[in-house]
Amino acid sequence: MMMKTVFYRFILLSVFYIPLVHAIDADVETRIKQLLANVVPGEEVTRIRPTPFKDLYEVLLGTEVLYISGDGRYILKGDMLDMQVRENLSENQRSVARKEILDSLSNKDFIEFSPEHPEHLIYVFTDVDCAYCRKLHRDVPVLNKNGIGVRYLAYPRGGMDTNASRVMEAVWCANDRQQALTDAKNDKRIEAKQCNNPVAQEYELGRKLGIRGTPAIFTDQGEALRGYVTPSELISFLKGNY
């Protein structure tokens, strides 16, 4: 039952290995950007780089990875794996992009439950009404005891026009956000408050990261675990004992 990330790392798709080339022709880069601007207007092209295959380029759109031919005729959406080292190259790039996003967050954005000197951090997109989110929250003391800090971000699954979103806005506006989040996950009434809160922005961020359910878990290195996992599985994964 180990997480999707482990599945990503070890699934077999290819038997070839060719070293990556690290340069791209400026004309090709411009052509690809112009094509994508027409196909997916408004999407930011984070990076374009060659793949091990001739005239096939890896494109990072936010945290999404796709592959495109140099003439722009063919686009492939799928994962590329390096069979020599058993790594999912596409997922590695998604992790890098997610890490950059998570690193840009401030402590005003998340609600943190951490030991004094955490060895590892996880970012959890949560919904106060989600049963597995509540189960994970009950695991937090065990995670903290094992050196793992938890940083919560808001993701009301039903969207912003829901009771859950309004409760989460009150939580993020509370004087004691940790206690308010714990109370909300135990069906205790939260005083309705309004402030300049990040709930809507975090909901959109979650959508950008491809979240479809909660809890959605990411390591501080951008690796996606997504669903609920037991404390023992999570501890083993973060400590490299999987």
Tens digit of each residue's pLDDT (9 = 90 or more) over 25-35: 888 888 888 88
133 is catalytic: yes
The answer to whether 130 is a known catalytic residue is yes
User: What are the domain boundaries of the chain?
Assistant: 4-102, 105-238
Matching CATH number, 105-238, of 3.30.413.10, 3.40.47.10, 3.40.30.10, 3.30.70.580: 3.40.30.10
Same fold, 4-102 and 105-238: no
Return the top range by mean pLDDT from 1-5, 74-78, 160-164.
160-164
Check 82, 109, 127, 183 and give the catalytic one: 127
User: How far is C-alpha 6 from the chain's CA centre?
Assistant: 15
Q: What is the pTM of this model?
A: 0.79
Q: Is 195 a catalytic residue?
A: no
Q: Which of 94, 157, 173, 226 is catalytic?
A: 157
The alpha carbon dihedral of 169, 187, 115, 139 has a sign of negative
Tell me the average pLDDT of the chain.
87
Could you tell me which CATH class the domain 4-102 is placed in? alpha beta
Residue 127 annotated to the active site: yes
For 34-99, give the DSSP string. HHHHHHSTT--EEEEEE-SSTTEEEEEETTEEEEEETTS--EE-S--EETTTTEEHHHHHHHHHHH
**Amino acid code (one letter) for 118:** P
